[in-house]
Structure 1
Amino acid sequence: MKDQLSLAFHVLVYLGLIHVTAFVVSGEPQVPCLFIFGDSLVDSGNNNALTTAAKANYRPYGIDFPQGVTGRFTNGRTVADIIGQLLGFPKFIPPYATAADQEISTGVNYGSGSAGIREESGSHLGDRISMDRQLLNHEKIISRLSALQSNKTFTDEYLKKCIYLSNIGSNDYINNYLIPSIYSTSKTYTADEYAAVLVQQYSQQLKTIYNLGARKIAVFGLGQVGCTPAEIKRFGTNGKPCVEWINDAVQLFNDKLKSLVAKLNTDYQDARFTLINLTSISAPQGDVPLPNTPCCQVGEDGQCVPDSKPCLVRALTVFYDGFHPSEISNTAIATRSYISVIPMDTYPYDISHLARL
């Protein structure tokens, strides 16, 4: 029991939850709607009907989620789910694949497992809804919303008040740059050149979100991909806690993304872009070893083996499978995105501030 309590404390300190206030959200949502773009970190079921290996519509995924198995790549709620709750939404934002007309006024989740900024990222796994395709889906939702509201001017003003989350880019490394046997990007670009090319394409996509009416946009940086159990197993760490050269490559992207957010705020003064710094949020607090053992039994693809039994105490695990955080990790990320614990967590402001602007 003492060892379990010690482990619990270490995991909670690592996640930053010791410092995070518990939020009780009640009353009306702080913004009228929430739109979510991204990959498997936010996918809530858009991949279920696709022909792809990147899907999580089977147990033990969803084992702690109120609705059970939905296609979320974790045991419970995603970061986007929890941010939605912190913003006061009484229901989870529906996935684009199944969003009914009566649901879309509160927002839509376009996230797709294995999707990337680049169109080809994740293609070896099968179909996925890339960022460019997610933007096309958002255009369709705006058309549906405008028809329902029967007033384009009202819809335009309505969309300006919503929050837009974008959490994408990990697959441009995991399922592209880091697989030279399938993708040519690592032969074509140095790590710095690739980060620049990615951020340049992403900048166009974020401008498209703006042009479609968004004025409050939270952009997630990439987490430490080199600390995921699957990448550690694949590449080894030379005695270090993580695969440092992968984290170094990803940090080049994050640094350029921060500069992009600053530039977008300068160029579009009627909008507010903010960066969620996942590297800061996921950094160990103090001298704490990184707990990077998957909770579920994983296959060669790093995902949970269907119908396998996950670890019993899921509140003490950082990763649920080889790539994806557990719900407790997602809680830490979401709460520190919503209200910063330290100034480095968000730039220039957290999501609770963004909602009030």
Structure 2
Amino acid sequence: MGGKPTGRFSDGKDPSDLIAEELGIKALVPAYFNPALQAQDLLTGVNFASGGAGYDPLTSDLADLYKLGARRIAVFGLPPLGCLPSQRTLKGGAERECVEMYNQVADLFNKKLQVELNSINSQFPDARLKYIDIFFPLISSTTHKNTVCFFLFI
């Protein structure tokens, strides 16, 4: 925002920003490791994503977050990793196709993540952990199996 680096994965708004903005919460969800982070930011959400804020194992334990008062937590699944431009270039052959094996691994991870989130939801009935699927909205099942549709947010 404003042409200034935010220390996050994207040089623009990411899905958590778009959701927070659409809900009228805030225009930008700050990175947890942002040195300018204010205590008030914690009340309306921060980005704990490894690409966005730097993975911190001390803050990744949901039980600890729950004890601190977190009740609504959104967890994004993995995108189709085999369709990332780097993987299509490195492993996609002359046609730069998606690497199906990497997509299968991301899909398996997402399925296991959903099971784990359901288990955690049952342990903390006052909390609402929501899985946000970004895998299947990005991958097209109606055309060639290696075709992917990426959304560009400007």
Q: Normalising by structure 1, what TM-score?
A: 0.36
Structure 2 partner of 1:132:
57
- Taking the aligned partners of 1:326 and 1:73, their CA distance within structure 2 comes to 14
Identity rate, percent:
32
Total equivalences in the alignment: 149
Relative to structure 1, the CA distance from residue 283 to residue 78 in structure 2 (aligned partners, 3 Å threshold; closer, same or farther) is same
Please point out which of 17, 42, 47 is paired with 1:81.
17
Please point out which of 71, 74, 77 is paired with 1:218.
74
Structure 2 partner of 1:99:
37
Please point out which of 141, 148, 153 is paired with 1:290.
148
Kindly report structure 1 stretches of 4+ aligned residues shifted beyond 6 Å: none
Q: Normalising by structure 2, what TM-score?
A: 0.75
Structure 2 partner of 1:68:
3
User: What does 1:236-275 align with in structure 2 at a 5 Å threshold?
Assistant: 236=92, 241-275=97-131
- Taking the aligned partners of 1:87 and 1:114, their CA distance within structure 2 comes to 20
* Displacement of 1:243: 0.5
List per-residue Cα deviations over 1:112-160 (Å, max 9, x = no partner): 5387xxxxxxxxxxxxx32314x1xxxxxxxxxxxxxxxxxxxxxxxxx
User: What does 1:141-160 align with in structure 2 at a 5 Å threshold?
Assistant: none
Query: What RMSD, in angstroms, separates the aligned Cα atoms of the two structures?
Result: 3.0
CA contact (8 A) 1:222 1:250 kept: yes
Unpaired stretches in structure 1, ≥5 consecutive residues: 1-64, 116-128, 136-201, 292-317, 319-324, 329-357
Unpaired stretches in structure 2, ≥5 consecutive residues: none
CA contact (8 A) 1:76 1:326 kept: no
SS at match of 1:132: coil
SS at match of 1:274: strand
Relative to structure 1, the CA distance from residue 269 to residue 238 in structure 2 (aligned partners, 3 Å threshold; closer, same or farther) is farther
Say whether 1:207 aligns with 2:143: no
- Taking the aligned partners of 1:237 and 1:217, their CA distance within structure 2 comes to 39
List per-residue Cα deviations over 1:193-251 (Å, max 9, x = no partner): xxxxxxxxx7xx23332232211121111111110010122222586831111111222
Largest Rg, 1 or 2: 1
CA contact (8 A) 1:74 1:326 kept: no
**The structure with more helix, counted as a fraction of residues:** 1
